[in-house]
Amino acid sequence: MKAKYILYTLGIALLSSSCSDFLDEDPKGKLTPGTFFSTQEELTMATYALYKNVCLTQTNTNPTIPSWLGDDVTANPGSNKQAYAEVDAFRGSDANKGVEAAWSTSYVVIKAANYIIENGAKTPTTQEEINIALGQAKYWRAVHYFWLVRRWGAIPLILDTEVNYERPLANIQDVYNQIVKDLQDCVATLPTDYSKPPQKFQGANIFITKQAAQATLAAVYMAMAGWPLKQTQYYASAAEQAKAVIDGVNSGTYEYILEPEYKYVYAPSHNYTNETVVGINFSSAVGTWSEDSQMTNSHLFESLTGWGDALGEIKFWKEFPTGPRKDATYNPKILEGNKEGGKLLDWWDESIPEQQPMFCAFTISEDGGDYDYTKPANTSLMTNDHRHRLIRYSEVLLWYAEAQARAEGTPNAMAYECINLVRERAGLEPLQSGMNGETFANAALKEHGWEVAGYFVALVTRRDDQMRMELLEQTFNERKANAAIEVAPGIVRKEKVELPASLTWQGEKSIYLPYPASDAQLNSNLTR
């Protein structure tokens, strides 16, 4: 056991490095295919190392800061939240800690994945075990290129472990082609179920399955159908992949469910819910997936002794339909002082410094259980075992509904059924037949935004939907105007983050992040 732990730790050390380190490292003394991948145990250790780096991409909110560009999330412009507010105001810099972290953590995962993809097939073990290891590597490489290409556009496309200071920028089409290829390989080779830890834990598949790759392909095809590629034929491909997942659920082949009550979507009591299609678990002891997510206080206001990283934008909150979904997404009331016996106040009450809606997906009760906004939230724990839900089944239903309507011009019966399942749980009336394709598709787009509101760790955030549908410029203009919004009869409020009067919309430069300064100094190709 001790030798196994040392090997695992060594694998982590080798694979946990920045993108710059990937170029700088001295290969002398590195484990090589000649000294590694000689047993099943070593293939397993490489896969564990990959998953450790996957976990580190969301250990804290820094790598998720690009999501603040969306119209659902904002930040405190003061305090220590300047990096969040900077991106929220469409003026992210090349030294922004979110820019640095999002870039470097993704390339670390890609590096770990490439190491397995290049060498894993040489392991003297069964083809099934090789397929599982290569499938995990190809999946997470695809996902991180999917994140990178939507945040930066043209990027270095690294598919090997060669040290190269001057990687050229691959165009967006080539990056998407590689993403699709990797995911198609996953669909072709991965199983639909696992039977034992660490691949399966508490009834949930932790390792990526065929159906998880299909759901991810649906999201990728939708992105390709919108801006910047605008290859609208991929809406049909997205609908096909989403339908395959839904058909698998309906036949009992796939395990996914829609939680009957929205309050359990992110609840600790349902941490391993099979509404989660793709989840990230934080662990250095992979067999038990026991290490925690460091986001317990990310939504809780600073004035309530939380971190207050992500605050709700007022306009999005105002347009969010009332019902159980809204009550589980935002605190309906704020408990004064976060103390037992405190008054329950509206977020716009003059005694609340933030003056913004408060999300609660990551918040837990004092005893670590399901959060009740009428009682104090836990602030003593920095972490909790929240399983990050990158994709949920409700999203697959909505992706099918939107993609089918956009592909065929008219929503079919299955599209109505899918969106109405999500709406019913949210406490909304079903959409009635007879809607035209665009109106219906835009309704599905809005539903998805409400499903993932404030959940900045999702694979497809509100920012990503807005980018695909070319809505970010509209958000920029609305945020620059910062019109007062009536939040209650006779009470108006404005956003705290204000855009400078001199700031103008710069098209791609306003949408994409700057390349991080630390890597641009090494690679002269990282320029706009």
Owning domain of residue 71 = 2-190+512-520
Same domain (yes/no): 18, 159:
yes
Q: Which pLDDT band holds residue 10 (cuts at 50, 70, 90)? A: very low
The DSSP result for 204-221, as a single string, is EE-S--HHHHHHHHHHHH
| Residue 55 covered by a domain | yes
Q: What is the pLDDT of residues 171-202, one digit of tens each?
A: 999 999 999 999 999 999 999 999 988 899 89
Same structural domain for residues 71 and 185? yes
Q: Which helix (H) or strand (E) holds 141?
A: helix 127-152
Q: Average of pLDDT values for 116-122?
A: 97
Same domain, yes or no, for 332 and 186? no
Tell me if 162 sits within 8 A of 145, measured CB to CB. no
> What average pLDDT does range 119-124 have in this prediction?
96
- Residue 253 backbone phi and psi in degrees, to 5: -80, -40
Final residue before a domain boundary, out of 367, 382, 397: 382
Percent of the chain with pLDDT over 90: 85
Q: What is the pLDDT of residue 33?
A: 52
Tell me what the mean pLDDT of segment 451-458 comes to: 98
- Give the whole-angstrom CA distance, residue 155 versus residue 145: 9
Alpha carbons 143 and 150: distance in angstroms, whole number: 11
Closest to 379 in 3D by CA, of 309, 305, 299, 308: 305
Write down the mean pLDDT value for the chain. Answer: 92
Q: Which of 365, 382, 399 is the last residue of a domain?
A: 382
The residue out of 329, 360, 382 marking a domain boundary is 382
> Which helix (H) or strand (E) element contains residue 169?
strand 169-170
SS3 string, 371-401, reads: CCCCCCECCCCCCECCCEEEEEHHHHHHHHH
In a domain, 103, yes or no: yes
475 within domain boundaries: no
Residue 150 lies in a domain: yes
Residue 492 forms part of a structural domain: no
450: in domain: no
Q: How far apart are CA 227 and CA 248, in angstroms?
A: 30
- Structure-model confidence comparison of residues 420 and 32, the more confident one: 420
Residue 311, domain member (yes or no): yes
User: Helix %, strand %, coil % for the chain, to 5?
Assistant: 45, 5, 45
- Pick left, alpha or beta for residue 518 (phi over 0 → left; psi -120 to 50 → alpha; otherwise beta): alpha
Tell me what pLDDT residue 289 has: 55
365: Cα within 13 Å, side-chain hemisphere:
13
User: Which helix (H) or strand (E) covers residue 253, if one does?
Assistant: none
Cα separation values, 363 from 375, 386, 391, Å = 12, 10, 20
CATH assignment of the domain containing 163: 1.25.40.390
Q: Per the domain annotation, does 114 fall within a domain?
A: yes
Of residues 307, 301, 299, 296, the one with CA closest to residue 355: 301
CB atoms within 10 A of CB 70: 27
pLDDT of residue 508: 97
Give the number of domains in the chain. Answer: 2
Which pLDDT score is estimated for 22? 38
Q: Is 355 left (phi over 0), alpha (psi -120 to 50) or beta?
A: left
